[in-house]
Amino acid sequence: MPSRLRTPPGAPDGPPHAQPPSRPRRRRRIDAITTEEREAPYTDEPALLKLEQAAAAAVPDQLPLFAPGPGGKFAALLGGMPALEPGSSLDLARAWYRRELEQAKRPFNTIESYCYDLVKLEERTGPKPIDRLTRSDIAEFLGLANNRSTRKRRLTSVRRFFRFLIEDARVLTTDPTEGFYPHTIQLRSPIPLFAEEQAALLAAAAEDEPWSLPAIWLMLRLGLTRGELLALRRDHIDLVDAGQPVVYVFYEDVTKRGKERKLAGDAELGRIYGEYLERKAPVDLLFPVGFQAVNGMVDRVRRAAELTKEVTPQVLRHTFAVERAKDGADETQLLGLLGLADDPRNRASVRRYLKLAEPAL
């Protein structure tokens, strides 16, 4: 026998479909609203308006995705910056230039130096568009330099900046730095180590920490810079023939691939390097230390060798270059051994080594 459904107390009698009909919805007008109606607050209650204003102020500003470009078109923003145009401000162009340098993985100090000079340029010219900068602006900016070194650095900074605007960004067609040339800055003559000083330094390095002797040998006998020394990895030295090891100098920075080279060692390096591998057994980097650790080690070894002459990683490199010049290396060969670009300044630099290698008068 089927059970009877009981109606809950307070519920209307009758089946569920017998509910009172709902009221028809009133259609909303689709007429446009005025600007005044659109911008009117949602409430007239002062307390609620204050809360809404506080909440709106707490929301972070969102950068637009697009900016107006030439011809009324929209250009996508990159990193929140408007598109670079001939009439852009120097401040915006500097921001784009800095981004380009950072993406090229230029050294931090180089980026800071370039941008600092461009800030100083803007302080002199004021808020001028980049296409309104003239040779007179550049001349005034360079003329206010305190010395030749500062003027040369400023010229390098602005010249590279306008090269970026012309060749890479392609927003300018003329270079206001054209026709300006840096002052010649005379290079100081290096003071290399004599043969007995070199021997004393290597002997003292052998009594120092395990990494001191191979590190000093590589700078003194192969001319590695401090940065190249610290970038050496275990697989960068070919020790298949211990009597003739080969050292490969590599660079991760693609802009410095021209400095890469292959250097020939000798049996002494094979012995020193083999002993170092037995004592320390590095997995990857040969010398996992910092720049200051190299400076401190070289000075510590100098004092242990009782040398009064200044000895730095750069002095070791100078000594290598002079010794190779004594062995008959010419300008071009020295440029290759040192990993230097073939330009007038570097050729002037290696001529110093050739002069010191000449026979005594």
Nearest to 292 by CA among 284, 283, 300: 300
* One-character DSSP codes across 250-313: --SSGGGGGG-EEEE--HHHHHHHHHHHHHH--SSBS----HHHHHHHHHHHHHHTT--S---H
* pLDDT tens digits in sequence order for the chain, 361 residues long: 444 444 445 544 545 444 555 555 555 444 445 556 656 666 677 777 777 777 767 755 554 444 444 444 444 455 567 888 999 999 999 999 999 999 888 888 899 999 999 999 999 998 889 999 999 999 999 988 888 889 989 999 999 999 999 999 999 999 999 988 877 667 788 999 999 999 999 999 999 999 999 999 999 999 999 999 999 999 999 999 989 999 999 998 877 888 999 999 999 999 999 999 999 999 999 999 999 999 999 999 999 999 999 999 999 999 999 999 999 999 999 999 999 988 888 898 999 999 999 998 8
User: Cβ contacts of residue 56 below 8 Å, gap of 6+?
Assistant: none
Helix, strand, or coil (residue 337): helix
Domains (range + CATH), the chain? 90-168 (1.10.150), 195-356 (1.10.443.10)
CA-CA distance, 332 to 343, in Å (whole number)?
Answer: 11
Adjacent-strand bridge partners of 249:
261
CA-CA distance, 231 to 174, in Å (whole number)?
Answer: 40
Residue environment code for 46-57, b if the CB has 16+ CB neighbours within 10 A, otherwise e:
eeeeeeeeeeee
CB 49 within 8 A of CB 41: yes
CB 217 within 8 A of CB 232: no
**pTM, 2 dp:** 0.61
